């Protein structure tokens, strides 16, 4: 069984999405009610303004609260069915109302928004061992055209201790040679350095220029 905290890990609440989903506001909380297993249980989901999630299951016949689904050591076909239905509701709410919120820099958020708006693509987190790394890929040929990664400055030969967020993009080899200066553009991090460049986000490269490079990378990924 997944804990509630793990279902909503690395996600942030979208209040308008909660309201569109069917939540109603009650003081500082938002509440949603549904029924499980053909009405045997009433499930209430409560979300605080800060995004904290809690649930209550009530047996509709007796009016008593049901808690066995939250006890991982409790087994059996019936409790398993309750637990699965409960978790499906939470997974659906997470998917609709809690967008993934991993990257923190302003430009990382701008990049995500730009690609979502222009290409209708979402981040794909492919590596469970590296939850701070994600990619964008084309829908038609599945080729990557961008990667948002978290690393240490030393990985790029920079000073500093705290993590930095970087963007890897495709680029023509001649442009890679011309632009790589280890200030604005760096050799592709964990990529083919002949065909990829890296940009440090919230750094010296303006957002408009980054968007233009994303468009170029998208087009390059169309090539066979």
Express each pLDDT in 152-206 by its tens digit.
999 999 998 889 999 999 999 999 999 999 999 999 999 999 999 999 999 999 9
Average pLDDT, the chain: 92
84, pLDDT greater than 60: yes
Domain boundaries, the chain: 4-97, 106-220
- The enclosing H or E element of 144 equals strand 144-151
Express each pLDDT in 59-73 by its tens digit.
999 999 999 998 888
CA distances to 95, 130, 132, 135, 174 from 185, rounded to whole Å, are 35, 24, 21, 19, 14
The CATH number that domain 106-220 falls under is 3.90.1150.30
Instruction: Give the ranges where the chain is alpha helix by DSSP (H).
Output: 4-7, 15-21, 77-97, 106-119, 173-179, 207-220
């Amino acid at each position: 069984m997944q804990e509630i905290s793990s279902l909503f890990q690395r996600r942030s609440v979208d209040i308008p999405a909660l309201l569109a989903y069917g939540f109603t506001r009650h003081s500082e909380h938002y509440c949603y009610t549904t029924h499980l297993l053909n009405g045997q249980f009433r499930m209430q989901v409560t979300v605080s303004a800060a995004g904290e999630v809690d649930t209550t299951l009530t047996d509709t016949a007796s009016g008593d609260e049901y808690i066995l689904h939250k006890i991982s050591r409790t087994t059996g076909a019936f409790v398993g069915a309750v637990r699965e239905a409960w978790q499906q509701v939470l997974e659906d709410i997470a998917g609709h109302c809690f967008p993934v919120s991993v990257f923190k820099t302003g430009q990382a958020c701008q990049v995500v928004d730009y690609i979502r708006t222009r290409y209708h693509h979402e981040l794909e987190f492919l590596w469970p061992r590296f939850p701070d790394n994600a990619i964008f890929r084309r829908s038609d040929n599945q080729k990557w055209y961008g990667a948002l990664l978290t690393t240490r400055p030393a990985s790029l030969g920079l000073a500093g201790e705290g993590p930095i967020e970087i963007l890897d993009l495709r680029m023509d080899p001649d442009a890679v040679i011309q632009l790589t200066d280890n200030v604005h553009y760096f050799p592709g991090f964990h990529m083919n350095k002949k065909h990829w460049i890296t940009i440090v986000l919230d750094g010296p490269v303006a957002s408009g220029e980054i968007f233009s490079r994303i468009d170029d990378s998208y087009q390059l990924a169309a090539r066979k």
